[in-house]
Structure 1
Amino acid sequence: MAHWFDLGDVAVVPLIEDDRLLIEPGEFFPGLEPDLADWYAQEPWFDRATGKLVFVIQSFLVCSADEVLVVDACVGAGKDRQRAEFDQLPDRWMRQFRATGVRDVDAVVFTHLHTDHVGAATDQRELVFPDAPHYVVEEEFRYWSSEAGAAAMRRTGDYLADSVLPIEQAGQLSFVAPDAVVGKHAELVPAAGHTPGNVCVRVRGSAGTVLLAGDTLHHGVQVRHPELSTRYCVDPGAAAEVRRRLLTEESGAVLLPSHFPAPSAGRVRRSGFEFADELVRGGQFRYREWVGS
Structure 2
Amino acid sequence: MAHWFDLGDVAVVPLIEDDRLLIEPGEFFPGLEPDLAGWYAQEPWFDRAAGKLVFVIQSFLVCSADEVLVVDACVGAGKDRRRAEFDQLPDRWMQQFLATGLREVDAVVFTHLHTDHVGAVTVQREPVFPEVPHFVVEEEFRYWSSAAGGAAMRRTGDYLADSVLPIEQAGQLSFVAPDAVVGKHAELVPAAGHTPGNVCVRVRGSAGSVLLAGDTMHHGVQLRHPELSTRYCVAPEQAAEVRSRILAEAGDSVLLPTHFPAPSAGRVRRGRTGYGFEFASDLLRTGPFRYGEWLA
Letter in 2 for 1:279: L
By how many angstroms is 1:53 displaced? Answer: 0.1
Q: Which residue identity is paired with 2:198?
A: N
Question: Structure 1 runs of 4+ off > 3 angstroms?
Answer: none
1:283 maps to 287
User: In structure 2, the residue corresponding to 1:141 is in which secondary structure?
Assistant: helix
- Matched residues in 1 for 2:148 and 2:130: separation? 29
Aligned position for 2:145:
145
Residue 118 in 1 paired to residue 118 in 2? Answer: yes
1:52 aligns with 2:52: yes
What is the one-letter code of the residue matched to 2:248?
A: T
TM-score between the two structures when normalised by the length of structure 2: 0.98
Rounded Cα–Cα distance in structure 2 between residues aligned with 1:153 and 1:143: 11
CA distance in 1, matches of 2:199, 2:270: 26
SS of structure 2 residue aligned to 1:171: coil
Q: Which residue identity does 1:235 align to in structure 2?
A: A
Could you list the per-position Cα deviations for residues 199-232 of structure 1 after superposition, in whole angstroms to 9, with x for gaps in the alignment? 0000000000000000001000001100000000
Larger mean CA deviation between 183-192 and 244-253 belongs to: 244-253
Stretch of structure 1 that moved more, 62-71 or 269-278: 269-278
Q: Any idea what SS the aligned residue of 1:278 has?
A: coil
Match of 1:53, SS state, is strand
Q: Do residues 191 (structure 1) and 156 (structure 2) align?
A: no
**Alpha-carbon deviations, 1:103-150, whole Å to 9, x = none?**
110000000000000000100000000121000000000000000000
- Could you tell me which amino acid in structure 1 is paired with residue 291 of structure 2? Y
Q: TM-score, normalised by structure 1?
A: 0.99
Report how far residue 270 of structure 1 moved.
Answer: 3.6
Cα deviation, residue 269, structure 1: 1.2
Farther-moved stretch of structure 1 (249-258 vs 229-238): 249-258
User: Shift of the alpha carbon at 1:24?
Assistant: 0.1
Corresponding residue for residue 201 of structure 2: 201
Mapped partners of 1:253, 1:29: distance in 2 = 27
Q: Partner of 2:269 in structure 1?
A: 269
**Which whole-Å CA distance do the structure 1 matches of 2:136 and 2:130 have between them?**
16
TM-fit CA distance, 1:44: 0.1
SS of aligned partner of 1:195: coil
Question: Which runs of 5 or more structure 1 residues have no equivalent in the other structure?
Answer: none
SS in 2 for 1:152: helix
| 1:9 aligned residue | 9
**How far apart are the structure 2 equivalents of 1:103 and 1:211?**
25
Aligned-partner Cα distance in 2 for 1:250–1:280 = 19
Partner SS state of residue 247, structure 2 = helix
**Counterpart position of 1:155:** 155
1:128-277 pair list within 5 angstroms: 128-270=128-270, 272-277=276-281
Q: Distance in 1 between matches of 2:250 and 2:160?
A: 32
SS where residue 15 of structure 1 aligns?
strand
CA distance in 1, matches of 2:177, 2:250: 21
Q: Distance in 2 between matches of 1:270 and 1:173?
A: 39
Whichever residue aligns with residue 283 of structure 2, its letter is: L
Deviation at 1:30, TM superposition (A): 0.3
Residue 25 of structure 1 pairs with residue 30 of structure 2: no
Counterpart of 1:54 in 2: which secondary structure? strand
Query: Percent identical across equivalent pairs?
Result: 87
The CA distance in 1 between the partners of 2:135 and 2:256, in whole Å, is 20
